[in-house]
A and B are shown apart, each in its own frame.
Chain A
Amino acid sequence: SYVLTQPPSVSVAPGQTARITCGGNNIGSKSVHWYQQKPGQAPVLVVYDDSDRPSGIPERFSGSNSGNTATLTISRVEAGDEADYYCQVWDSGSDHFYVFGTGTKVTVL
């Protein structure tokens, strides 16, 4: 099955830039989506199709995808960005059609 690997944690100071990676075999050929999940809440879609933002998501959230790595970038990090972040792809060749990454805890210092 297709595996998406994320770093367990990323720490960043307020106002700085956080970069969260999502590694997968030839992930650049797939559409990658990113979710933010705060404690006790449902995930919220923050980036879809590699780099598009749903309405209401700040421009500070951006994404890129190439080769074997997709990246979610959070610019000018705020305290409210502290959360778990998950990448997700759809893989028709997988036995788990919708695949989530292992998740990254973003801590704002």
Chain B
Amino acid sequence: QVTLRESGPALVKPTQTLTLTCTFSGFSLSTSGMCVSWVRQPPGKALEWLAVIDWDDDKYYSASLMTRLTISKDTSKNQVVLTMTNMDPVDTATYFCARINEGASGSTQFDHWGQGTLVTVPS
């Protein structure tokens, strides 16, 4: 059974750095084809992809945010960490982590999601 769970601060002040942790079970990020990604959703708005890390430690970022994002993994702890610098009120959103199992066919869908964590940046 695959599960993912996000953790981190609910409130971050402007200009501070946000650190979120995704703790997962039911799969290993050392298995070929496995990836964990971060997606966010401002209140009442659409989903926005942020970053992904794969089993081979390859990392990809949204071009609009890549100067502020860092994604990393700790395979032994089954965790993926996302940091976002210089937080702003527009970064207020629910942040989700999600799994991609590329498998043999190069699948690109998010097949399992965490429940999300709401991060608020006050103005």
Contact = CB atoms under 8 A, between A and B. Distances in A.
Nearest to B4: A42
A45 B52 contact: no
Nearest to A100: B47
B31 interface: no
Contact of A43 (B52, B63, B113): B113
Given A45-B111, A88-B109, A102 B46 contact: yes
Contacts of A86: 46-47
Given A42-B115, A43-B110, A103 B46 contact: yes
Interface residue tally on B, bucketed by range: 20 to 34
A54 B113 CA distance: 14
B47 A103 contact: yes
Contacts of A102: 46
Interface in A24-47: 31, 33, 35, 37, 41-45
A89 B108 CA distance: 7
Interface of A: 1, 31, 33, 35, 37, 41-45, 48-49, 54, 86, 88-90, 95-103
